[in-house]
Amino acid sequence: MASRISTSQVSLYSLEAMLRNQKELSRTQLQISTGRRILAPADDPYGSSRLLNLRETVAINEQYQINAGHAKNRLNLEEGVLEGVSNAIQRIRELAIQANNDSQTRESRNFIAQEIEKLFDQILDLANTTDANGEYLFAGYKGKTRPFAPDINGNVQYYGDDGQRVLKIGTATSVEVSDPGSDVFLAVKNGNGTFTTVEGVGNQGSGIIDPGSVIGTYYPDDYTIKFIPPSNPADPNAPPEYYILNGNGEVIVAGSGVTPPGGVPLYPDEASFLAAVSGGTDSGVPYQEFESITGLEQYGIQTYIIGTPDASTVPGDSFTISPSSNQSLFTTIRNLIDTLDIAPVDDAASARFHNAMNRVITDLDQNLGKILEVRARVGARLNTVDKQLDINESFNLQMKQSVSEIEDLDYAEAVTRLNLQLTGLQGAQQTYMKIQGLSLFNYLR
């Protein structure tokens, strides 16, 4: 039996075709206006899934770029602050060398001390520098706590912690963006960095000991050089003599020889050695100005003494060589200011002054070296940040290219499709109009 197609069905089919063409045309027009091929996940499920992953990767990488920018700004600020501290220390060192000259008067040294006070305050201000967020640069994790402040006695105390902030600037790259003040300004070895030389409190002679240097293997201990009268007092040209004790009070260097590290000491105590000297069976080592102290080289120490240590008593003047310990930059500068207040009225006072000045100049060298070391670390981190910024930028460009390949529209294809769809829609509209105009009554007479 033949099927019959009613006028309403024909109209419905034509209307559906026209609406479908309009929908496709609208989608193409929207693609062209947005420049995007995928307007909804249904357009390309697999591509949409990849786009989500790529966009997430791009967002994370852009956050890494932001972190790297923050890291660079903070490290640049720290490097600038450390440069200021380094310049201030260098100036203080120049003033210390100037003040150590015997041509200076007490008044001129007072003027020098006043300038050093100003530089001290400048360094303290630099140590309390804040970043753009108002957080202290050298406070560790305690960013809102002022790290350095003087106590009631005028001694600078540290109120931060040992924390070191880290920012992640890449998938596998993190960088430290701060250095705690405890490391930069406090953890500085005094003396030459290995040991320090100190004159005896009661010294009466003009002996000045050199800060010394390490030679060979250093054996840390508290060594004491003590002076006694010459073993031949009848000779007016005979120099004073010395012997050396270790930290246990044992005599390890005397006229009779040197005890090697770890060996049996020459004498178990000082009293037995002095008894031998009194009995004429042993003596000290003859002192020679500017010559290395005999025996200490076996323990990794090279130093000398200038001037004339007092040996009128038994024992006389003494000098101690001890392992270096941490001493803050602020303590070093305060020691310098206090030393400038010494009035070298006689040889003993002059020796104390120059010993203290030599010591503080050596300590300043250690502080300057520490600041330069930290600056080198900051510079290395800045290089890391710069390289990671380039890596992130390159990676971001690749990811965006991948997003573009999946999402971006092929305009040539889309315009061609739009023209075809416009033609199809116009044909459907004309067909619909003609179908709507068909009627049997038009053919009846």
Three-state secondary-structure class, residue 305:
strand
Structure tokens at 103: 């041509």
CB-count burial class (<10 Å; 0-12, 13-18, 19+) for 103: exposed
Question: Does the pLDDT value for residue 339 go beyond 90?
Answer: yes
Tell me how far apart the alpha carbons of residues 69 and 46 are, in angstroms, rounded to a whole number. Answer: 35
Mean pLDDT of 59-87: 93
Question: What is the structure's pLDDT at 77?
Answer: 95
Question: What is the structure's pLDDT at 316?
Answer: 92
Cβ atoms of residues 167 and 174 within 8 Å = yes
Question: Does the pLDDT value for residue 404 go beyond 80?
Answer: no
Question: Does the pLDDT value for residue 86 go beyond 50?
Answer: yes
pLDDT band at 37, cuts 50/70/90?
low
Q: Which residues contact 281 (CB under 8 A, 6 or more apart)?
A: none
Q: Higher model confidence: residue 438 or residue 356?
A: 356
Tell me how far apart the alpha carbons of residues 92 and 85 are, in angstroms, rounded to a whole number. Answer: 10
Mean pLDDT of 356-378: 96
Q: Where are the domains of the chain?
A: 7-35+409-443, 58-189+366-396, 197-321
Digit-coded pLDDT (tens) for 236-292:
889 999 999 999 999 999 999 999 999 999 999 999 999 999 999 999 999 999 999
pLDDT band at 46, cuts 50/70/90?
very low
Mean pLDDT of 222-244: 92
Structure tokens at 308: 């004339």
User: Which one, of 192, 185, 188, lies nearest residue 322 by Cα?
Assistant: 192
pLDDT band at 419, cuts 50/70/90?
low
Longest dimension (CA), the chain: 166
Cβ atoms of residues 162 and 360 within 8 Å = no
Long-range contacts of 68-71 (CB under 8 A, 24+ apart): 68/167, 68/169, 68/170, 68/385, 68/388, 68/389, 68/392, 69/389, 70/167, 70/177, 71/167, 71/169, 71/175, 71/177, 71/381, 71/385
pLDDT band at 176, cuts 50/70/90?
very high
Instruction: Judge: domain 58-189+366-396, CATH 1.20.1300.10.
Output: no
pLDDT band at 409, cuts 50/70/90?
low
Tell me how far apart the alpha carbons of residues 112 and 101 are, in angstroms, rounded to a whole number. Answer: 12
Tell me how far apart the alpha carbons of residues 295 and 315 are, in angstroms, rounded to a whole number. Answer: 19
Write out the DSSP string of 336-355. HHHHTT----SHHHHHHHHH
Question: What is the structure's pLDDT at 342?
Answer: 84
Q: Which among 110-114, 236-240, 396-400 has the top mean pLDDT? A: 110-114
